[in-house]
C-alpha cells in the first residue's frame, strides 16, 4: 500500500476530511507532508476533535522508534478502538507495552506514543497488512462517526 492508496481509500469513506498541512496554512513545519483524517461531514476542520487516523512521514520528537527517516518509510496510525487494540496486541491499552519493534514494516503494533490510548500503527503496510489496515481504518471511521453523531444529538425537525 502506498500513501496515496491509503489516502484514496479513506477519502472514499463518507464524511471524511483529509487534511495535509503545508506551508502557509499556519501549521507547524514538522507536520508538513503528513495526512490527518477527520470525520467532518460538513467539510469544516473540527476544532476540538482528534483525527481518527494519520499518516506520518517522518520521526517526531520522542517518537523515533519507527525509524521513519528511512527512504520511503511512513506509518499509518489508527484509533481503531479498544477491541481491535486488544485483538492485535493481546493486551489492554493501558497495560505495559510489549517488546514489539515499532520500526518493523508490514506489522500491526501498538502506537509507540499513543498506544496507551488504544492507537495501533503499521509502518509501510504491505501484503500482510493491506486488508487489516483497511479494516482498522473502516473501524476507526465508524467510531469517529458514532462520536460525532452522539455529540450532535438528535436531529430536530
pLDDT in tens, 66-124: 999 999 999 999 999 999 999 999 999 998 776 788 999 999 999 999 999 999 999 99
Query: What is the rounded distance in angstroms from the CA atom of residue 70 to the CA atom of residue 135?
Result: 26
Grid cell for residue 76: 499509518
pLDDT band at 157 (very low <50, low <70, confident <90, very high): very low
Closest to 39 measured CA to CA, from 28, 26, 53, 27: 53
Write down the pLDDT at residue 155. Answer: 58
Query: What is the rounded distance in angstroms from the CA atom of residue 46 to the CA atom of residue 30?
Result: 20
pLDDT band at 33 (very low <50, low <70, confident <90, very high): very high
Give the count of alpha carbons within 13 A of 151, CB side only. 11
Per the DSSP assignment, residues forming a β-bridge with 39 are 16
Write down the pLDDT at residue 48. Answer: 87
pLDDT in tens, 4-29: 999 999 999 999 999 999 999 999 99
Q: Is 125 exposed, middle or buried (0-12, 13-18, 19+ CB in 10 A)?
A: buried
Hey, what CATH class is 3-152 in? alpha beta
Helices (H), the chain: 3-11, 82-89, 130-152
Write down the pLDDT at residue 90. Answer: 92
Write down the pLDDT at residue 1. Answer: 94
pLDDT band at 153 (very low <50, low <70, confident <90, very high): confident
Distances (CA, A) of 96 to 24, 86, 89, 99, 100: 40, 13, 11, 10, 12
Amino acid at each position: 500500500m502506498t500513501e496515496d492508496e491509503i489516502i484514496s481509500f479513506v477519502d472514499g469513506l463518507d464524511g471524511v476530511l483529509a487534511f495535509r498541512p503545508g506551508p502557509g496554512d499556519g501549521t507547524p513545519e514538522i507536520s508538513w507532508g503528513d495526512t490527518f483524517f477527520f470525520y467532518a461531514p460538513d467539510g469544516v476542520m473540527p476544532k476540538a476533535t482528534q483525527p481518527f487516523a494519520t499518516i506520518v512521514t517522518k520521526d517526531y520528537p520522542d517518537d523515533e522508534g519507527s525509524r521513519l527517516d528511512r527512504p520511503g518509510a511512513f506509518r499509518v496510525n489508527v484509533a481503531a478502538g479498544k477491541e481491535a487494540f486488544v485483538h492485535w496486541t493481546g493486551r489492554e491499552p493501558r497495560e505495559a507495552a510489549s517488546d514489539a519493534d515499532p520500526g518493523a514494516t508490514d506489522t500491526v503494533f501498538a502506537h509507540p506514543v499513543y498506544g496507551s490510548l488504544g492507537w495501533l500503527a503499521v509502518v509501510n503496510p504491505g501484503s500482510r497488512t493491506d486488508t487489516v489496515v483497511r479494516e482498522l481504518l473502516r473501524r476507526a471511521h465508524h467510531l469517529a462517526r458514532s462520536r460525532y453523531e452522539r455529540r450532535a444529538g438528535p436531529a430536530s425537525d
